Amino acid sequence: MLVSTMDHVPGKKVVRVLGLVRGNTIRARHLGQDIMAGLRTLVGGEVKEYTKMLAEAREEALDRMLAAARQLGANAVLEVRLASAQVIGGAAEIVAYGTAVVLEDDPTATG
Protein backbone atom coordinates (compact mmCIF):
# COMPACT_ATOMS: atom_id res chain seq x y z
CA MET A 1 0.00 0.00 0.00
CA LEU A 2 1.40 3.36 -1.04
CA VAL A 3 1.34 6.04 1.69
CA SER A 4 2.09 9.64 0.81
CA THR A 5 1.78 13.12 2.25
CA MET A 6 1.27 14.40 -1.31
CA ASP A 7 -2.13 14.82 -2.96
CA HIS A 8 -1.02 13.00 -6.10
CA VAL A 9 1.58 10.44 -7.18
CA PRO A 10 3.63 11.07 -10.32
CA GLY A 11 2.79 8.54 -13.02
CA LYS A 12 -0.45 7.49 -11.32
CA LYS A 13 -4.00 8.74 -11.40
CA VAL A 14 -6.70 8.54 -8.78
CA VAL A 15 -9.56 6.48 -10.22
CA ARG A 16 -11.64 6.29 -7.05
CA VAL A 17 -11.74 8.23 -3.80
CA LEU A 18 -12.90 5.99 -0.96
CA GLY A 19 -12.85 8.57 1.80
CA LEU A 20 -11.21 9.48 5.07
CA VAL A 21 -9.38 6.77 6.97
CA ARG A 22 -7.81 7.12 10.37
CA GLY A 23 -6.09 5.17 13.07
CA ASN A 24 -5.29 6.17 16.60
CA THR A 25 -3.74 4.98 19.81
CA ILE A 26 -3.41 6.38 23.30
CA ARG A 27 -0.22 5.73 25.20
CA ALA A 28 0.54 6.44 28.83
CA ARG A 29 3.88 6.81 30.52
CA HIS A 30 4.80 4.37 33.23
CA LEU A 31 6.82 4.73 36.39
CA GLY A 32 10.00 3.19 34.97
CA GLN A 33 10.01 5.60 32.04
CA ASP A 34 9.32 8.55 34.33
CA ILE A 35 12.25 7.69 36.60
CA MET A 36 14.66 7.33 33.68
CA ALA A 37 13.31 10.50 32.02
CA GLY A 38 13.66 12.41 35.28
CA LEU A 39 17.28 11.37 35.59
CA ARG A 40 17.93 12.29 31.96
CA THR A 41 16.58 15.81 32.52
CA LEU A 42 19.29 16.33 35.13
CA VAL A 43 22.07 15.80 32.59
CA GLY A 44 20.26 16.99 29.46
CA GLY A 45 19.85 15.35 26.08
CA GLU A 46 17.21 13.29 24.37
CA VAL A 47 14.65 11.53 26.54
CA LYS A 48 14.98 8.24 24.67
CA GLU A 49 12.29 6.43 26.69
CA TYR A 50 9.64 8.86 25.48
CA THR A 51 11.06 9.02 21.95
CA LYS A 52 10.71 5.25 21.67
CA MET A 53 7.20 5.27 23.16
CA LEU A 54 5.99 7.94 20.72
CA ALA A 55 7.64 6.25 17.72
CA GLU A 56 5.82 3.01 18.58
CA ALA A 57 2.56 4.94 18.98
CA ARG A 58 2.96 6.58 15.54
CA GLU A 59 3.57 3.18 13.91
CA GLU A 60 0.52 1.71 15.60
CA ALA A 61 -1.68 4.61 14.50
CA LEU A 62 -0.38 4.30 10.91
CA ASP A 63 -0.95 0.52 10.93
CA ARG A 64 -4.54 1.03 12.07
CA MET A 65 -5.12 3.68 9.40
CA LEU A 66 -3.78 1.31 6.71
CA ALA A 67 -6.01 -1.51 7.97
CA ALA A 68 -9.01 0.79 7.57
CA ALA A 69 -7.90 1.66 4.02
CA ARG A 70 -7.51 -2.02 3.11
CA GLN A 71 -11.04 -2.72 4.35
CA LEU A 72 -12.32 -0.12 1.88
CA GLY A 73 -10.33 -1.68 -0.99
CA ALA A 74 -7.74 1.10 -1.29
CA ASN A 75 -4.28 0.63 -2.71
CA ALA A 76 -3.03 4.00 -1.45
CA VAL A 77 -3.60 6.64 1.21
CA LEU A 78 -2.82 10.20 0.17
CA GLU A 79 -2.38 13.44 2.14
CA VAL A 80 -1.41 11.48 5.27
CA ARG A 81 -1.08 13.55 8.42
CA LEU A 82 -0.24 12.82 12.04
CA ALA A 83 -1.58 14.69 15.06
CA SER A 84 -1.17 14.32 18.78
CA ALA A 85 -2.94 15.61 21.84
CA GLN A 86 -2.67 15.16 25.57
CA VAL A 87 -5.69 13.20 26.80
CA ILE A 88 -4.93 13.30 30.52
CA GLY A 89 -1.76 13.99 32.47
CA GLY A 90 0.79 11.43 31.35
CA ALA A 91 -1.21 10.07 28.38
CA ALA A 92 -1.16 11.19 24.76
CA GLU A 93 -3.21 10.27 21.71
CA ILE A 94 -1.58 9.89 18.31
CA VAL A 95 -3.87 10.03 15.26
CA ALA A 96 -2.91 9.18 11.68
CA TYR A 97 -5.35 10.17 8.94
CA GLY A 98 -5.54 10.53 5.19
CA THR A 99 -7.63 9.90 2.08
CA ALA A 100 -8.03 6.29 0.93
CA VAL A 101 -7.90 6.01 -2.85
CA VAL A 102 -7.50 3.57 -5.69
CA LEU A 103 -4.59 4.46 -7.97
CA GLU A 104 -3.82 3.19 -11.46
CA ASP A 105 -0.95 3.85 -13.84
CA ASP A 106 -1.49 7.01 -15.88
CA PRO A 107 -0.71 6.18 -19.52
CA THR A 108 -0.59 9.90 -20.37
CA ALA A 109 2.14 10.63 -17.81
CA THR A 110 5.50 11.65 -19.13
CA GLY A 111 8.74 10.94 -17.44
Q: What is the mean pLDDT of residues 7-26?
A: 96
Give residues with Cβ within 8 angstroms of 64, minimum separation 6. 22, 23, 24, 25, 96
Q: What is the mean pLDDT of residues 16-40?
A: 76
Are 94 and 54 within 8 A, CB to CB?
yes
* Nearest CA-CA partner of 62 in 93, 27, 22, 8: 22
Write down the domain spans for the chain. 2-105
The pTM of the whole model exceeds 0.85: no
CA distance 55 to 66: 17
Position 68 confidence tier, pLDDT thresholds 50, 70, 90: very high
- Where in 1-111 does DSSP place strands (E)? 2-3, 12-28, 76-88, 91-105
What topology is assigned to 2-105 in CATH? Answer: Translation Initiation Factor IF3 (3.30.110)
Q: Is the pLDDT of residue 39 over 70?
A: no
Torsion of CA 65, 66, 69, 75, to 10 degrees: 150
CA distance 43 to 111: 52
Give residues with Cβ within 8 angstroms of 32, minimum separation 6. 49
Mean pLDDT is highest, among 87-91, 96-100, 107-111, for 96-100
Q: Is the pLDDT of residue 100 over 60?
A: yes
Are 3 and 66 within 8 A, CB to CB?
yes
